[in-house]
Amino acid sequence: MTKAQSVAVFLAFFGMLGCGGGSSRPAGNPNVPQFSHVFVVVEENHSFQQTIGNAAMPFLNSLANKYGLATQYFANTHPSLPNYFVLTAGQTVTSSDDVNGPVRVDNIAQAVTQAGKTWKCYAESLPNVGYTGPDSGLYDHAHVPFGFFENVQTDPRQANNIVPIPQLATDVATDQLPNYGFIVPNIRSDGHDCPDGAASCDDNRKLATADAWLAANIQPLLDSPTFQSGGLLLITFDESTDADTAHGGGQVPLLVISSRSQPGFKSTTLYQHQNTLRLALDALGITERPGDSAQATQMGEFFQQ
């Protein structure tokens, strides 16, 4: 079977799983509408095939059915940290998770601040507000790229935008949401590790735990009037399984969620993490585009025009 035939068979199967009622159209290049708030959630180390259509993830799949889904979306490399850098700086920066010292690159925190807008990184198990140090308990430093950026590390006002995850619920309740938010579950909530800390477990236990975390922490955001009137949520995975190296980091899902999303839209356009970075910037009306996001195709096809 050719690659094209394999894709066609998978998309047909995907439709039988209840995702085929949505629209699909040839890739175009329409403009991205403007949003007042953009949020990015990153899960860990699972492929498109492991997650989309998997009954262990009912919440994620309910969103994939209702809103936009990129069916040809690929991470950039392995392991984790370089992908997080592409999502926020448009370049891999490193080939490993081991980086010492501050990273001096243009990035979305810098772009958002220079545009006069606000940002926060909500990180589960973060030891304290403004923490930019190494791993601590269930907190994985390699999943929080903002803690590496020199412009954040050297400015306490910027570093204090890295906050523990309970702040998200507070900001929803008090209507104090930032213009840009990057949401990071800990290593037992994002599909990376077994939920009970065991060395190994059934993979669907990891995914079910990640899905329950999303439902508990993301649904309140989606329900908020502020999000409903002007919010965009992007959910993806940093990389696929180690064996999947297609386009560098393997095939993963990207969900595009907003009141202006095309209902049930399934894109067949090839996208990667630099496209998601550009989408976040475009949606906020920011023209500065770090790294490869400057040349990345925009993602206006996901939205009602």
CATH classification of the domain holding 91: 3.40.720.10
* Torsion angle in degrees (nearest 10) through CA of 25, 283, 255, 261: -50
Q: Is residue 12, in this structure, part of any structural domain at all?
A: no
Amino acid (one-letter) located at 64: A
Q: Is residue 128, in this structure, part of any structural domain at all?
A: yes
Q: Count CB-CB contacts under 10 A for residue 267.
A: 21
Pick out the chain residues at pLDDT < 70: 1-29
Q: Is residue 2, in this structure, part of any structural domain at all?
A: no
Q: Are strands 254-258 and 231-237 parallel, antiparallel or unpaired?
A: antiparallel
Q: Which of 22, 19, 6, 96 has its CA nearest to residue 52?
A: 19
Q: Which of 299, 257, 303 has its CA nearest to residue 279?
A: 299
145: domain range?
A: 36-302
> Taking a C-beta distance cutoff of 8 angstroms, is the pair 101, 273 a contact?
no
Q: Is residue 154, in this structure, part of any structural domain at all?
A: yes
> Taking a C-beta distance cutoff of 8 angstroms, is the pair 268, 24 a contact?
yes
Q: Is residue 10, in this structure, part of any structural domain at all?
A: no
Looking at residue 29, its pLDDT comes to 63
d(CA 294, CA 18): 36
Angle of CA points 290, 292, 297, to nearest 5°: 110
Q: In the chain, helix, strand, coil percent, each to 5?
A: 40, 15, 45
Q: Is residue 197, in this structure, part of any structural domain at all?
A: yes
Q: Count CB-CB contacts under 10 A for residue 197.
A: 10
Place of tokens 């104090």: 176
pTM for this structure?
0.91
d(CA 8, CA 3): 9
* Phi-psi region at 40: left, alpha or beta (left = phi > 0; alpha = psi -120 to 50): beta
Which tokens in the block code for residue 130?
Answer: 């403004």
d(CA 248, CA 140): 22
Place of tokens 């592409």: 86
- The count of domains in the chain is 1
Q: Is residue 3, in this structure, part of any structural domain at all?
A: no
Q: Is residue 16, in this structure, part of any structural domain at all?
A: no
d(CA 297, CA 279): 9
